[in-house]
Structure 1
Amino acid sequence: MTDYSVLLPCVPRRLEQALPFAGLVRWTGAARLWQGQAMVMEPHQTFTGMAGAGFRVPTGFGVTLMPLRHPYEAALQARSVALATGEPVIAGFGPGSPAFQANILGAPYARPLQVAREYVTAVRGLLDGETVEATGPHYTFRGQLAPAAAPRVDVGLGVLRPGMARLAGEVADVVITWLTPPSYLRDVLLPAVAEGAARAGRTSLPRVVAMVPTGLEADGREGASPERLAVAGNAAHMQAPHYLDMLGRAGVDVSSGQLADVARGVVETGAFVGGDLAQVVKGLRAYEEAGVDEIVLNTTAVHKLFGSRDSLSDLSSILQAVTAP
């Protein structure tokens, strides 16, 4: 059975902006509260703060960016959230864009898949209580986390293309996708994950988590077509070279370079799930049928255009529809 979870649809500047979404997870059938990389209030601190306010829920980071923290700190931060919440954590990581890598590190990763392999392997070992002796070429250190009984922390990789999917199949606990059409997941990414797992001799596949942008048609939202919502929530992604490459592989016509054309293709391929409630449920079921284990409802566009109340309303309606017996 596929789980449904919630993405925090804003970058909070005050903790109380995030609490209603933690409450939604706590009081509905949602499995987990997720947040991507944020550059205002750091996500680990947000989740720990929510726990201190009494909202202790399972959490996921989808994804935090590897250039920002050493693998040892990444493992320590993830386990700290598990200790603070008393709930399991999915710690997802990704290399970010080459431009971001260059801005933070001085140069982009020459071999991002190799860096990701070293990073995830080190973090997993640390979380397993091992003394990790990393010998590079990208990370050279020796360390062990101080022993502590904490809920499980799974380690995930952000996946857009087959190379990273194969690597995730080898070394990750969780595969995390964003803006990936269900047919592309089914036909391209999941076979690559299985190939990587077989190459590593793994007897079980990583769990697959899909972040799915969505929004309902509703009264008072004049002009909020699925295409407009897709742009409002994902404009930066739909202009980034690595996302355009993925979308092109998934059947979206990105040749014009026009954001409106890309948004139309994103809607047509089901990477953005919009319409009335029945249409949204149908679009989400396509991800279930593709083999996704956890669908994360991303209402960032609704929140940006219409506010927190509308975002919470959409999430409540969709969760009720997809998790009802």
Structure 2
Amino acid sequence: MRIGITLSDGGGPDALTRLRDDIARAADDGLHSAWLSNIFGLDALTALAVAGSPLPGERDTGIEVGSAVVPTYPRHPVALAQQALTTALAVGGRFTLGIGLSHRVVIEDMLGYSFDRPLRHLSDYLDVLLPLLDGDPVDVRRETVRAAAALGTPRVGRLPVLVAALGPKMLELAGARVDGTVLWMTGPRTIREYIVPTIQAAASTAARPPARVVAMLPVAVTDEPDAARERAAREFRMYGGLPSYRAMLDREGAAGPADVALIGSEESVRDRIAELAGAGVTDFVAAEFSAPDAARTRALLRELAPARLA
């Protein structure tokens, strides 16, 4: 199992410099990947293109960088394909494009788009996006998306695509059409009993390679687990109220985000990461959240990365 971290833009005029430093540190620590969300701070693709590419005279870090995730509704798939290919070019082909629907409260209430028929929207969206990423022209007339276009954007090998999929139909779509899924706030039992069987069955039926399952969870190695859980409950509270994540927490029997966070001693957190590997996770991505314990948390991740838990 590959080990990665989430990135934070942090805000401020030096955000890209700090992001570059964080990616370089993750590479120096031997981690396999670093992932940036596209929320309301830095644009994830632009930021990764800038911060993930080596400066003149610097060595290439070699670490995978990914978006987790870019919402589809606000960007036409032609525009997203062009930007994603440019990002991949900037980082030497080390980019993985993670996309997702976002949430009704964002898409409808904040941005004014319709969030109706999300599965149809994503299926139509992929009909345009995937051929363009592969260098093929499109002439697509679907219910929710139309496009007649070709791109001359240079390509650096194949660009992997992941879909943030939690519902059964969305998992089936991801398994059948893209490289896998990226998860958030989803515990090991839910992954083992629901996520992995659903997406891998769809991949097998579609004669595709086994799907990649990227699981992101908050992590803190600490001798003060109660205090860390309080911080996790406070910092990640909003995710417990979003319907898609709430459904995953309910499946796991978790009252809130703090209950699926990996918190405790090195042995405890190591065992829980191993449990995720046993559940079928191919990539564990740590959201390091407890500043007082940051050094111990990173030390454990460094230890686990070369081990490539099976």
Does the TM-score normalized on the shorter chain lie above 0.5?
A: yes
Q: 1:262 aligns with which of 250, 256, 259?
A: 256
Work out which of the residue numbers 42, 54, 65 in structure 1 matches 2:71.
Answer: 65
Aligned counterpart, 1:276: 265
Q: Deviations over 1:280-301 (max 9, x none)?
A: 11111111001111111111x3
How far does residue 12 in structure 1 lie from its aligned partner after superposition? Answer: 3.7
Q: TM-score, normalised by structure 2?
A: 0.89
Q: Work out which of the residue numbers 259, 281, 303 in structure 2 matches 1:292.
A: 281
Alignment correspondent of 2:176 = 170
Residue 320, structure 1, aligned to residue 302, structure 2 = yes
| 1:315 Cα offset (Å) | 4.6
Stretches of structure 2 lacking an aligned partner (at least 5 in a row): none
1:6 aligns with 2:20: no
Which stretch shows the higher mean deviation, 40-49 or 283-292? Answer: 40-49
Q: Distance in 2 between matches of 1:203 and 1:215?
A: 36
**Judging changes above 3 Å, is the alpha-carbon distance between structure 1 residues 196 and 47 closer, same or farther for their aligned structure 2 residues?**
same
Cα RMSD, aligned residues only: 2.2
Taking the TM superposition and a 5 Å limit, the aligned residue runs for 1:1-325 are 2-13=1-12, 14-50=15-51, 51=53, 53=55, 54=58, 56=61, 57-103=63-109, 106-199=112-205, 201-218=206-223, 224-225=227-228, 227-252=229-254, 261-263=255-257, 266-267=258-259, 271-299=260-288, 301-303=289-291, 306=292, 311=294, 313-325=295-307
Cα deviation code 1:208-238 (max 9, x no counterpart): 11112111115xx79623x223224421111
Q: What are the superposed Cα offsets for residues 236-260 of structure 1, whole Å, 9 maximum, x if unpaired?
A: 11111221122112223xxxxxxxx
**Against the structure 1 CA distance between its residues 117 and 314, is the aligned structure 2 distance closer, same or farther, given a 3 Å change threshold?**
farther
Please give the alpha-carbon distance, in whole angstroms, between the structure 1 residues aligned to 2:232 and 2:35. 19
- Residue correspondences, number: 300
SS at match of 2:270: helix
Kindly indicate whether the alpha-carbon contact (under 8 Å) linking 2:66 and 2:95 is maintained by their aligned counterparts in 1: yes
Task: Name structure 1 gaps, 5 residues minimum.
Answer: 253-260
TM-score w.r.t. length of structure 1: 0.85
In the alignment, the residues of structure 2 paired with residue 22 and residue 168 of structure 1 have an alpha-carbon distance, to the nearest angstrom, of 27
Give me the whole-angstrom Cα distance separating, in 2, the residues matched to 1:76 and 1:28. 32
Counterpart CA distance in 1 for 2:113 and 2:267 is 47
Measured at CA, do residues 245 and 147 of structure 1 come closer, stay the same or move farther in structure 2, by a change above 3 Å?
closer
